[in-house]
Amino acid sequence: MSTPYFSLNVVELTRETDDAVTIHLEHPNRQLIASEAGQFLTLILPCGPGGKKERRAYSLSSTPSEAPRLSVTVKRVTGGLVSNYLLDTVRVGQQLEAMAPLGNFTLKTSPKSARSLVLIGAGSGITPLMSMLKAVLREEPQSHVLLVYGNRNEKSVIFSEQLRQLEAQFTSRFQIEHVYSQPVGPVSAHQHVGRLNRTTLLRILEQRHQFPASQAEYFLCGPEGMMVEAKAALDLLGVPDNRVRRESFVAAAETQETTAAQPNGHGDVSADDDDQIKTRNVTINYEGSEYQFEVTPNQTILEAALDQDIDLPYSCQAGLCTACRGKCLSGKVHLDEREGLSDSEMKQGYVLVCVAHPLTSDVVIEID
């Protein structure tokens, strides 16, 4: 099933910090658009050279219960084409093109749940965590949330006022620990100076977390370095891997070791199919049509398709968001990045065409 596209109205803008704004969107008919806490919205904006459309994924800071409103929070990135376009030009009443919400970094609520959540984020990594904590606080009256949030200083805290209000409203169930690398004033209780690293996180969890570490659920979102440090701290506390979920905002800089997706019963390699990245033909099945095209060594399968004006679904182009997920029916591919796929999906032959290169001449991929 293909991902639907929508034109959404900008109904409100909320200034969060000097360089971050929340854009509130609704369907013109106030139609409900399904989403889950933690998912992202892909905006398609005419801000490239000559009005070329660019796509960027922004995590939803709204919750499903806030429907029909969908809200994304955008932080200005120095030299960032899309973030600067949004912060400088978007106005209430404008229409923005978007794909339906996507993403697997999600949290589903249940009124009967009684759990402990630890949310660990830095900078704009707070965005999906904000959606999760609002959903849990309002829909799981027996659950507790601890948010550990790293920023440069007090002025760069996105959702600062909302967080204060939530902490006052849910005082027995919600705790915030702020970590400032360069505070502008004296720190107070529940504020820490330095980087959000393993040592700081261990100290916070040992002092403030009121539940056994191994029994909590952990959601991490932010720069890769922060998440490596956080995972190291959780390993030291004996937290099982299946209790830790993470969302990267930036793909790993280095190409990972070759990952070949080869479903059972397919992918017989002939004498001249030597599992090398070289120019090969690929077949894509999408929305009832079959597309055959050539992929050169310096292209991903998605890039080659877009060069042929084949409009495949995509968003992040970094192997993280799964918007371009497809099933490899035959042949083998190399993935530059597999963060967006679970082990189960890999075993079933799923690939992400935005980071995929054909390794054999019989690659056939069916896109959902």
Task: Report which DSSP code applies to 37.
Answer: B
| Sequential DSSP letters for 282-313 | EEEEETTEEEEEEE-TTS-HHHHHHHTT----
Query: Which residues lie below 8 Å from residue 51, measured CB to CB, with a gap of 6+?
Result: none
State mean pLDDT over 254-279. 49
- Average pLDDT of the residues in 315-326: 82
Q: What is the pLDDT of residues 156-202, one digit of tens each?
A: 999 999 999 999 999 999 999 999 999 888 888 889 998 899 999 99
- Report pLDDT for 2: 56
Say yes or no to pLDDT of 70 above 80: yes
d(CA 261, CA 333): 6
